Structure 1
Amino acid sequence: MEPSYILLILVLYFVVLLIISLVTSDKEEDNENFFKAKRQSPWFVVAFGMIGASLSGVTFISVPGWVETSQFSYMQVVLGYLLGYLVIGTVLLPLYYRMNLTSIYTYLEQRFGINSYKTGASFFILSRVVGASFRLFLVANVLQALAFDVIGIPYWTTVSITIALIWLYTFKSGIKTVVWTDTLQTLFMLIALGVTIMVLYDEMNIPQGIISFISESSLSKTFFFEDINSVNYFWKQFLSGAFIAIVMTGLDQDMMQKNLSCRTLKDSQKNMFWFTIILTVVNLAFMSLGVLLTLYAQQNGIEAHNDQLFPVLAKDYLGPVVFISFIIGLVAAAYSSADSALTALTTSFSVDILAIDKRHSLKSQVQIRKRVHLLFSLVLIFVIISFKYLIKDESVIAKLFVFTGYTYGPLLGMYSFGLFTNLKTRDNLIPFIALCSPVLAYFISLYSNRWLGFDFGFFVLILNGALTFIGLLIFSNIKSSNLSKLILSGGK
């Protein structure tokens, strides 16, 4: 396909998003709309739109590519999500609604103090800036190689225009607009998934039903109980999935901001229930796509593996319909997470770090929020371009992205300590504990794998959270003689 056609598709795509922004924006610009959509978002729209935010461009490309080497083992993590989302719906959402929170990290201030509050918000901001930048970096690289290099558009221009467009359709109404644009982008992503599966089914001349074909394949093995040291061991991945869901959804301002825009707690819980079901089915569909892509490549002698599998087959072998849907789906998956991330970063920095709701008039709050929104747009541009030009080894960037997972461990430890104990701890030491825990978790994971052959994998998140919890416990107001009793009693 000619690069000019790809450019035209992207232009039309963003025109649609801008139209949605105009339709959903109010004439009056206020922070209540930007931060919480005045709690008027329909729960079913939020539930559907959250799928796109959860499945980024990394997932869109990587999950099908994992199947060749990991089979359906990722489904063990997805099943763990079910337990995690249950905790979010029954424990965290009632807490957030009862406290009428704009930023979920305000809970930490009321439970521990100002240092805990600022620490939690700072870890979220760091993680979201790096994570959102990396997701957009991967997609920008694909688009640059497919179209913009040929046209002669420099990489920095591609990135700058992309972020500028996201800023343009989110700057006025924030989460109110994002709820609707994410719904459309989720739809585009699922259409791309469905079209590709249908074309592959037809191209491969599969005699039996597609479900039977996939389930009979050796690539569809799901449960791994054989080797406890393996990264694919069931209980390791299942428990990790539960905690990943809790921290990366329930303790994440980006994801929770959409939930908190629902009218009532009951609506928000319904949203979480249906979101869980849809997300499970969609992940299963992406892994099924991975089986079809892998077998198609093997049958036709095509050397494409891992993250290259889907892009190469879509571009060179499966025809223009699949390629167009792939481009739209990839962009939709990436930008549905990027626009909500930009909105959440603006919210967290404005409310948690600058405390605009406590220090400024309503008019000043809007002006400050607009400047913060622009600031984070520029930060994302700078970080993405830095990935391209300052870090030449992309494996280093991938490790940096993995490292952002460590930033959620302290949040897990702090919220667990706050919710499941009645203890007070030394607020001034919480930043130190939160910084030390990920470092200790990294080295324990590293040497456990090197010396014992035990690969923590996703399980390192639980280790990280446990270290934070222990640190808070050590510096709590409990007497040392009762410390062991508390641990044995489970913190009660």
Structure 2
Amino acid sequence: MSPSLVITVISGYFILLIAISLLTGRKSDSKTFFTANRQSPWYLVAFGMIGASLSGVTFISVPGWVAGTQFSYMQVVFGYLLGYFVIATVLMPLYYRLNLVSIYGYLDQRFGFWSYKTGAFYFLLSRVVGASFRLFLVAGVLQLALFDAWGIDFAVTVMVTIVLIWLYTFRGGIKTIVWTDTLQTLFMLSAVGIVIYLISQELSLSAVELTTTISESKYSKIFFWDWQTSKNFFKQFFAGAFIAIVMTGLDQDMMQKNLTCKNIGDAQKNMFWFSLTLVVVNLMFLALGALLYIYADTKGIAIPVRSDDLFPMLALEHFNIFVGIIFLLGIVAAAYSSADSALTALTTSFCVDFLNFNTLEDTLELQKKQKKTRLIVHVGFSALLFLVIMVFKEINDEAVISAVFTAAGYTYGPLLGLYAFGLFTNLQVRDYGVPIVCVLSPVLSYLLSKHSEELLFGYRFGFEILIVNGAITFIGLLLLQKNQSSGSVRM
């Protein structure tokens, strides 16, 4: 595919996104940026959340991951359903009842200042790391498809990627994101369906033969019961449930979209349909992965060393131009639907949780001051993402989706422990000690994971280290408890 065609496709795509941002960002203020004035249709939020939840990591890493893990990822996806049920019935009613802009305001009301700031800090850390991983992936694809041919350095590719996000999010914030994510999800899912269809045509497979070929392949095994492997069903199912709770329910990025719905009923309908659709969509990605490997084997194409490179390589170097265009639209849509909302959520959390923005105040003078500050914060987080991506490029040696979940196990664990303690006990804690507990718990979790085979008779931790991390935080909070019970906010 020629670089000129690539730049034409991407330019047209971003012109469309910027046009949407201009329409949705008119007369925007802090309320619009942070909450979309609580007027988002639930079905738009649900559909857009699919793209934000999946991201470019799913688009590339999940298909590539099939060779090493088969369809075992579906065990995690089934666990998501349990996690989303908890979010819809426990967390979302709490957030709506407290009328929160930043969900970490709950920790302030439940425990106090230091717990609140610790929770917000761990979100910022988690989301910066996660968003950087995802942007690293799409920047790598753009480098392969376009910038390598022009001799442009990877750092420039990353900078262009982030600048494009900034251009269409800085004005309208979450209101713009709700609409652009809907468009981007449509592009992403259309791309997957079209590529599956075109590969089936290349291999001369009917719909029935396609299903049979995938199900009878060596890649299609879903359930694994060996307790010592990280692919064990129970490990992955419960890890999936807790990953959904922390990476959606305790994540300002994902919850900020839900909090733009008109009421709790609409938000719960959004979560219900989103969770069911996500199961089908993830199965599509795994089927695509199996087809990519089957296609490469059939055509005698060498499999790249990094599994994340398989889909881009085939789409850009071996399939026809139409598939290449569809792939580019899909990966760009998938990556940006996650990264744009992450940048908005980071700005929201920092402004509300650390700069004490009061979105209920709407005087003209305050709005002007907040808008200027918000713009500076938005630029600052854009620069931070750039730096983290460049560091990640130097150290990454595994599939990005594995890296994302591994990092989540350590950065979201303290949030899991804090919320579990707050929701399921009446105890109050010595607030000043909470940051210490939340620093020690990931360290202890890492040490336990590193030496688990010697300490636990051969047991190896997978993504369920997140649960252990949360449990250590919970125990640490028990040690900080005060004698009197709390009259603070609970369900």
Q: TM-score range by the shorter chain?
A: over 0.9
Contact (CA 8 Å) 1:387, 1:397: kept in 2 or not?
no
Stretch of structure 1 that moved more, 123-132 or 349-358: 349-358
1:449-488 counterparts in 2 under 5 A?
A: 449-450=453-454, 452-478=457-483
Report what 1:482 is aligned to: none
Q: Which one-letter code corresponds to 2:217 in the other structure?
A: S
Give the distance between the partners of 1:459 and 1:396, measured in 2 at CA.
18
Q: Which amino acid aligns with 2:385?
A: L
> Structure 1 residue 382: deviation in Å?
2.7
Provide the residue aligned with 1:295 in structure 2.
294
Q: Which residue of 1 aligns with 2:343?
A: 342
Instruction: Map 1:43-192; keep pairs closer than 5 Å.
Output: 43-192=42-191
State percent identity of aligned pairs: 59
After superposition, the Cα gap between the structure-2 partners of 1:87 and 1:187, relative to the gap in structure 1 and judged at 3 Å, is: same
SS of 1:477's equivalent in the other structure is strand
Counting only pairs closer than 5 Å after superposition, residues 44-443 of structure 1 correspond to structure 2 as 44-206=43-205, 208-225=208-225, 227-305=226-304, 306-357=307-358, 361-388=366-393, 391=394, 393-395=395-397, 401=404, 402-443=406-447
Which amino acid counterpart does residue 26 of structure 2 have in structure 1?
Answer: D
Please tell me whether the aligned partners of residues 29 and 371 of structure 2 are also in contact (alpha carbons under 8 angstroms). Answer: yes
Aligned with 2:463: secondary structure? helix
- 2:22 aligned partner, one-letter code: L
Which letter maps to 1:159?
V
- Aligned counterparts of 1:269 and 1:48: Cα–Cα separation in 2: 13
Q: Is the 8 A contact 1:127 1:405 kept in 2?
A: no
Instruction: Decide whether the 8 Å contact of 1:304 with 1:312 is kept in 2.
Output: no
- DSSP 3-state at the match of 2:80: helix
Letter aligned with residue 437 of structure 1: S
Q: CA separation in 1, counterparts of 2:214 and 2:396?
A: 33
Higher alpha-carbon deviation: 207-216 or 255-264: 207-216
Distance 1:475 1:60, change over 3 A: same
Report the Cα distance in structure 2 between the residues aligned to 1:293 and 1:110, rounded to whole angstroms: 50
Confirm or deny: 8 A CA contact 2:169 2:176 kept in the other structure. Answer: yes
Give the corresponding residue for 1:22.
22
Cα deviation, residue 366, structure 1? 2.4
1:3 paired residue number: 3
Shift of 1:386: 3.9
CA contact (8 A) 2:18 2:168 kept: yes
TM superposition score normalised by structure 2: 0.93
- Unpaired runs of 5+ residues, structure 2, are 485-491
Structure 1 residues 300-357: Cα deviation after superposition (integer angstroms, max 9, x where no partner): 2222152222112112222111111111111111111110000000000000011122
TM-superposed CA distance for 1:376, in Å, is 1.1
Cα offset, 1:379, TM superposition: 1.7
Distance 1:435 1:2 in 2: 49
Deviation at 1:289, TM superposition (A): 0.8
Tell me the distance in 1 between the aligned counterparts of 2:378 and 2:125: 16
Determine the structure 2 residue equivalent to 1:490.
none
Count residues in correspondence.
476
Q: What is the deviation of 1:152?
A: 3.4
Q: Which amino acid aligns with 2:295?
A: Y
- Whether contact under 8 Å (2:61, 2:399) holds in the other structure is no
What is the SS of the residue equivalent to 1:90?
helix
Residues 171, 370 of structure 1: 8 Å contact kept: yes
Q: Is the 8 A contact 2:409 2:464 kept in 1?
A: no
Query: TM-score under structure 1 normalisation?
Result: 0.93
Q: Give the stretch that moved more between structures: 372-381 or 3-12.
A: 372-381
Q: Which amino acid aligns with 2:451?
A: Y
How far, CA to CA, are the matches of 2:368 and 2:329 in structure 1?
39
| Alignment partners' CA distance in 2, 1:363 and 1:19 | 24
Q: Residue by residue, what CA displacement relative to the aligned partner does 1:132-162 show, whole Å, maximum 9, x if unpaired?
A: 1121112112211221121233333322222
Q: What is the DSSP-based 3-state SS (H/G/I as helix, E as strand, rest coil) of the residue aligned with 1:236?
A: helix
Deviation per residue, 1:211-238 (Å, 9 max, x gap):
333223332111112x111111111110
In structure 2, what is the equivalent of residue 488 of structure 1? none
Distance 1:349 1:126 in 2: 11
How far residue 129 of structure 1 moved from its aligned partner, in angstroms, is 1.2
Question: 3-state DSSP class of the match of 1:218?
Answer: coil
Q: CA deviation at 1:400?
A: 6.8
User: 1:41 maps to what in 2?
Assistant: 40
Distance in 1, Cα, partners of 2:115 & 2:102: 14
Query: What is the RMSD computed on CA atoms of the aligned residues?
Result: 2.0
